[in-house]
Amino acid sequence: MFDFLSTTLSRRQPEQQSGETNQLMWQWLEEGVLLLEPILLEAMHLETQSVANRDVQDQPLDSVLLSVGVHGNETAPIEILNRIVSDLMSGDLTLKVRLLVMIGNIDAMIKGERYLELDLNRLFSNQQFSGQHAKFTDCAETQRAKQLEGIVSSFFDQAENGRRFHFDMHTAIRGSHHQRFALLPYKESTTGQAQGVYSRTMFDWLGSAGIDAVVVNQAPSGTFSYFSSHYCLADSCTLELGKAKPFGENDLNQFEGINLGVRNMISQGMPLNHDESNTSCVKVYQVTQQLTKLTEDFQLNFNDEVKNFTSFQYGEVLAQDGKVTYQVEQPQEWVLFPNAKVRPGLRAGLMLVQVNKETLF
Ligand SMILES: [Zn+2]
């Protein structure tokens, strides 16, 4: 049996590209992309008339996409996912969902970089620019975005009636007042409300997996999770799970919550019933303003070391860009991903407000 990570790192195709264990069928779809399906699924198709299988048919399998390494230097989730794949292959972990696992930016991962030419997590198609990658000069990353989109679309097309989930797992460089948090992509409203409705099941699961906070985006973006949410109708999120470190230097104990959460989800499927017992401490934020770097004069008005989710009070100046001043417009705002070193025209930070979690559903 091949090792998913070392095979991907070696840039060689595995000798065998598909196979079967006692419980699952696996298929190497592309470099760093593996599809795993429980054998039960095939039995369901063959025995659709069987009364004994009726329970199974009533609950179609969930389809789950787990992506890691979209930023190549964020290694802890890659190591965690690789162990999960090994345990599935050996039969130590049961598979009860259709599972697609992928390592995003392999070239960057090999070099230990976030990305080489362009940030892969800005290149996915979105509603504003259909085929976002078409706007950028062709490079390995635009091609990878296009390739992953195709694979993900056909994976979810084949999901039939089951629920669809996508967890894109990252780690951050900057310190954070919330160690682990989720970013929910913008969702169009279909009911005239200000925003679309998010999955309560996913929110409950995030709480049970040790996520401290959830941030709701207010606009389409070129992220992987926006793509799968908007185009594949998956319940998706980007997970920020702790500090980014090189391979071998991660303290995987710090990732135990998400590791166990993912293992439970894979081996039992997502819960069917609402259970908010783990979500009482989860804070919910939404984006209230973006700090856009307009010119090279852009300067943040705070220390470079400031942590994510540091709060600012009404009127405080956040950044200066020539004659443009960004300041806090709400009684209190929290900063996320401040970075003055981006190219002009790009996002140099987000400001958040806290909202009641019930506004999500
Ligand atoms: Zn990342």
Nearest to residue 271, comparing CAs of 359, 208, 196?
Answer: 208
Residue ranges of the annotated binding site are 71, 74, 170
For 165-215, the pLDDT digits (tens) are 999 999 988 899 999 999 999 998 776 666 678 999 999 999 999 999 999
297 Cα to the center of ligand 1, angstroms? 26
Q: Report how far residue 185's alpha carbon sits from residue 311's, in angstroms, rounded to the nearest whole number.
A: 22
Over 55-76, what HEC string results? HHHHCCCCEEEEEECCCCCCCH
The yes-or-no verdict on residue 237 having pLDDT over 90 is yes
For 3-60, the pLDDT digits (tens) are 999 999 999 889 999 999 999 999 999 999 999 999 965 555 555 545 444 454 567 8
The pLDDT value recorded for residue 134 is 62
**Coil, helix or strand for 11?**
coil
Q: Report how far residue 284's alpha carbon sits from residue 60's, in angstroms, rounded to the nearest whole number.
A: 31
224 Cα to the center of ligand 1, angstroms? 11
**Cα three-residue angle 99-103-109, rounded to 5 degrees:** 165
Average pLDDT of the residues of the chain: 91
The pLDDT value recorded for residue 160 is 82
Q: Select which of 79, 240, 329, 333 is catalytic.
A: 240
- Tally the residues of the chain: 361
Instruction: Enter the DSSP assignment of 302.
Output: S
The pLDDT value recorded for residue 192 is 65
The yes-or-no verdict on residue 258 having pLDDT over 60 is yes
25 Cα to the center of ligand 1, angstroms? 30
Residue ranges of the annotated binding site for Zn(2+) are 71, 74, 170
47 in active site: no
For 88-140, the pLDDT digits (tens) are 999 999 999 999 999 999 999 999 999 999 999 999 988 766 656 667 889 99
Q: Which CATH architecture has domain 4-47+61-268?
A: 3-Layer(aba) Sandwich (3.40)
Q: Report how far residue 330's alpha carbon sits from residue 312's, in angstroms, rounded to the nearest whole number.
A: 9
308 Cα to the center of ligand 1, angstroms? 14
Indicate the domain borders of the chain.
Answer: 4-47+61-268, 286-360
Q: Report how far residue 312's alpha carbon sits from residue 295's, in angstroms, rounded to the nearest whole number.
A: 24
CA contacts within 13 A on the Cβ side of 320? 6
pLDDT confidence band for 326 (50 / 70 / 90): very high
Q: Report how far residue 98's alpha carbon sits from residue 61's, in angstroms, rounded to the nearest whole number.
A: 7
Q: CATH says 286-360 is which class?
A: mainly beta
The answer to whether the 4-47+61-268 and 286-360 domains have the same CATH topology is no
The pLDDT value recorded for residue 80 is 96
Nearest to residue 2, comparing CAs of 42, 38, 39, 31?
Answer: 31
Mean pLDDT in residue range 275-287: 92
